[in-house]
Structure 1
Amino acid sequence: MANDTLAPDEDYYDILIEGDLNNSDTEQCHQYDATALLAHVVPQLYATVFLVGFVDNSLAVLALVKHKGLGHVENIYLLNLVLSNWCFLLTLPFWAHAASNGGSLGHPMCLILVTLGSVGLHGEAFFSALLSLQSCPGLFQSSFSSAARTVPCGIITSVLAWGMAILVTWPELLFHKSWGGTQQYQCLLRRPHLLPGEDASWERSLTLKMNIVVLLVPLLVFTVCFVLFMRTRKTLRSGDRKKDLVKLVFTIMGVFLLMWGPYNVALFLSAFKKSFSLHDCRGSYSLDRSVQVTRVIASTHCCLNPLLCMLLDEAFRKHLCCCCHLGGDTPLPPAADPAHDRPWEELQRSTSM
């Protein structure tokens, strides 16, 4: 009976076991291709967000300036928050048009879009933090509270916040440039010629700056104000204007962190992927995809703040309804709560007594 088993061939087995199959040098790493996402999802999504944001942010500015008034510091910060949304919102049509047509953005346009988007994002982080601090009960002592809650102080603080937003945006302008690759509509971060080719510290520095300003600072302010609110919430009556305002501000800050937090985390892991052992093919692919997807989702946040104000602030809804009427100069009916639009410092004194 013939033996069907063949003698082992040494050369054959040498070929099979040669090299490390789990970590082979011949393994090809495919980068995440965002062409489908940017060409099919971004144009429609950004166009919708721009239309919604254009309407609700315009109505919010009109309600704050013409009807609600800027006699309260929190209204000043809220107006600057809406203006920050506008800065970011104005960049969306250009990104949508470039993504749908595959057009190339020149270097000047690239810098303009990056500047507007970055100033708007950092401004939104700063003014959300200022609004939270302004509305946080029991944070300041009485001597400092009266000075910090005046309109001139609010204007000066707003100017300083805009200056800080421009200042922290400046490093990004040194590294952004238009890139004429397959995705020509992107403004990419490019290493300056003065730096060594192996030096990636500039990219990590920009990521840390982004995480500190957009994520850590608002998160710290939100945590401190939330703890103080939980300690004093028993002294606030149900339906009190102060309590309603604090809930609105916390909701604005919470939504901001939920929308931009995942992008900042994905960006941080992508910049420090070697430190977290995520620089293999699968890890790099997943991080690149996460950065792209979370960035697109976070960009839709610029139209949400006026919607939150309409949903959670009854007085704001009434002011918006007054703006939508043809007879916009008609006086606003008095609110049911006589303290509804009283200054914040008066509300504090009344509740403390």
Structure 2
Amino acid sequence: MPTKASSPTLTTTSPENSTFVYDYDYLDDVTILVCRKDAVLSFGRVFLPVVYSLIFVLGLAGNLLLLVVLLRYVPRRQMVELYLLNLAISNLLFVVTMPFWAISVAWQWVFGNFLCKAVSILYTINFYCGIFFITCMSLDKYLEIVHAQPLHRLRPRFRSLLLITIVWTTALAVSVPEMVFVQAHQTLDGVWHCYADFGGHATVWKLYLRFQQNLLGFLLPLLAMIFFYSRIGCVLVRLRPPGQGRALRVATALVVAFFLLWFPYNLTLFLHSLLDLHILGNCQVSHYLDYTLQVTESLAFSHCCFTPFLYAFSSRRFRRYLKAFLAAVLRWHQEPDTAQARPPSYSESSRATAQEDVVSMNELGERQTDDPIDKADTGNDQA
């Protein structure tokens, strides 16, 4: 669940009926009473609801548009678009949770215990699914280009469908702590909050969940993307296809965007773990980390607004689909033949793409499939 929406992360209590304390760092009671964070709490109550609302509006509109275009125009046999479809669904489910957290931070949790648990589970599942499907898309392009595996064979398609199932299952397994520990709690002053209560093992669980997020949500996907796109880049440099420079820029942009969105947030989580272990024990440092976490978390959450379109617009074919869809909505079509508004078949799309002056990452995969010369070259390269 969002670091800033739960009770341990953004809570007001009234010890000795005198002061507000910001219980963020999961430290012991003595440290909490000493390190007052009224300013951090006030900042979060204004900053986070605004950011969560923007993410909800932009993410909902963008991913709905992406979903409609994919369902209406994209051939089902193209696995990259199937990963993109699942990414759009995952992002939609993720942004649906944002209004709940915004209200919780600005006021209190007013939605009851069932929605507390349901929204927390939904958030965690789709938080990880969004990252996993990005990794799957890089893996798919790696197999198409480096290993020249055709998209129309049954085995690669079955493998991709199996991988999609594994992604959703893994994300569901990761959300087990939310299923078990998250519930609505009422403070002594009658304010309700939604958070995970780990009892006497709170610090251990928080450290474990942060390490899990650092590893599964950032480090392993980043290393996988670097490996896949590096190998793709080697093939591009050796084969020198038309549009080689653009394809290399696209690959670099995808990796850099992932790093810039997620590295600050994961670094801040790691530093908070050091704080919990009392390696960093300064109250001023704790204040700075609290502010930093709110900002970097918001940056990371914005991935659901921008990342899908970064991947979608890396494909010239998808841009044609989007243009056809917008033309249909705005009644820009001049010809009555509806066939022109629909995408060509897979083989026709591949041949048309092969004649483009500039190719993207997605079209290059099709070129590798249909061009036996390139396929042979790739086999020699692997040998």
TM-score range, shorter chain: 0.7 to 0.9
Task: Tell me, in whole angstroms, the C-alpha distance in 2 between the residues paired with 1:32 and 1:238.
Answer: 58
Alignment partner of 1:31 out of 20, 31, 37: 37
Alignment partner of 1:260 out of 259, 262, 271: 262
- Tell whether 2:98 aligns with 1:92: yes
Alignment partner of 2:340 out of 313, 331, 337: 331
Worse overlay, 160-169 or 250-259: 250-259
- Tell whether 2:218 aligns with 1:215: yes
Alpha-carbon shift at residue 236 of structure 1 (Å) = 3.5
Which residue in the other structure is 2:233 paired with?
230
Gaps of 5+ in 1: 1-24
Alpha-carbon shift at residue 293 of structure 1 (Å) = 2.4
Contact map agreement 2:151 2:157 (CA 8 A) in 1:
no
- Tell whether 2:301 aligns with 1:299: yes
- Tell whether 2:179 aligns with 1:173: yes
Change over 3 Å in CA distance of 1:32–1:233 after alignment to 2: farther
Mapping for residues 89-128 of structure 1, pairs under 5 Å: 89-128=95-134
Which residue in the other structure is 2:55 paired with?
49
Task: Tell me, in whole angstroms, the C-alpha distance in 1 between the residues paired with 2:232 and 2:364.
Answer: 19
Worse overlay, 294-303 or 97-106: 97-106
Paired residue secondary structure (1:150): helix
Q: What residue identity is the alignment partner of 1:232?
A: V
Contact map agreement 1:91 1:117 (CA 8 A) in 2:
yes
Larger radius of gyration: 1
Task: Tell me, in whole angstroms, the C-alpha distance in 2 between the residues paired with 1:170 and 1:94.
Answer: 20
Contact map agreement 2:124 2:175 (CA 8 A) in 1:
yes
Alignment partner of 1:279 out of 278, 281, 296: 281
Worse overlay, 341-350 or 103-112: 341-350
- What whole-Å deviation, never above 9, does each CA across 1:115-165 have from its counterpart, x for those lacking one? 111111111111111111111268865689987973222212111110011
Contact map agreement 1:57 1:82 (CA 8 A) in 2:
yes
Contact map agreement 1:74 1:131 (CA 8 A) in 2:
yes
Worse overlay, 292-301 or 331-340: 331-340
Change over 3 Å in CA distance of 1:224–1:147 after alignment to 2: farther
Task: Tell me, in whole angstroms, the C-alpha distance in 2 between the residues paired with 1:59 and 1:34.
Answer: 36
Mapping for residues 168-207 of structure 1, pairs under 5 Å: 168-181=174-187, 187-192=194-199, 195=200, 200-207=203-210
Contact map agreement 2:151 2:369 (CA 8 A) in 1:
no
Q: Please state which structure has a larger fraction of its residues in helix.
A: 2
Task: Tell me, in whole angstroms, the C-alpha distance in 2 between the residues paired with 1:229 and 1:172.
Answer: 38
Alpha-carbon shift at residue 346 of structure 1 (Å) = 5.3
Task: Tell me, in whole angstroms, the C-alpha distance in 1 between the residues paired with 2:353 and 2:366.
Answer: 17
Change over 3 Å in CA distance of 1:201–1:123 after alignment to 2: same
Which residue in the other structure is 2:368 paired with?
347
Task: Tell me, in whole angstroms, the C-alpha distance in 2 between the residues paired with 1:28 and 1:154.
Answer: 53
Contact map agreement 1:139 1:228 (CA 8 A) in 2:
no
- Tell whether 2:84 aligns with 1:81: no
Contact map agreement 1:172 1:206 (CA 8 A) in 2:
no
Task: Tell me, in whole angstroms, the C-alpha distance in 2 between the residues paired with 1:148 and 1:268.
Answer: 43
Paired residue secondary structure (1:337): helix
Task: Tell me, in whole angstroms, the C-alpha distance in 2 between the residues paired with 1:179 and 1:279.
Answer: 28
- What whole-Å deviation, never above 9, does each CA across 1:209-250 have from its counterpart, x for those lacking one? 11111011111102212321332221232426xx86675565
Q: What residue identity is the alignment partner of 2:99?
A: P
Alpha-carbon shift at residue 71 of structure 1 (Å) = 0.9
Q: What residue identity is the alignment partner of 2:224?
A: V
- What whole-Å deviation, never above 9, does each CA across 1:83-103 have from its counterpart, x for those lacking one? 111121111122223334445
Gaps of 5+ in 2: 1-30, 377-383
Task: Tell me, in whole angstroms, the C-alpha distance in 2 between the residues paired with 1:86 and 1:185.
Answer: 27
Q: What residue identity is the alignment partner of 2:129?
A: G
Change over 3 Å in CA distance of 1:147–1:70 after alignment to 2: closer
Alpha-carbon shift at residue 82 of structure 1 (Å) = 1.2
Change over 3 Å in CA distance of 1:178–1:294 after alignment to 2: farther
Task: Tell me, in whole angstroms, the C-alpha distance in 2 between the residues paired with 1:50 and 1:287.
Answer: 25
Cα RMSD for the two superposed structures? 3.4
Alpha-carbon shift at residue 172 of structure 1 (Å) = 3.5
Task: Tell me, in whole angstroms, the C-alpha distance in 2 between the residues paired with 1:128 and 1:122.
Answer: 10
Paired residue secondary structure (2:137): helix
Task: Tell me, in whole angstroms, the C-alpha distance in 2 between the residues paired with 1:315 and 1:345.
Answer: 11
Q: What residue identity is the alignment partner of 1:279?
A: G
Which residue in the other structure is 2:68 paired with?
62
Q: What residue identity is the alignment partner of 1:302?
A: C
Change over 3 Å in CA distance of 1:140–1:32 after alignment to 2: farther
Task: Tell me, in whole angstroms, the C-alpha distance in 2 between the residues paired with 1:323 and 1:40.
Answer: 38
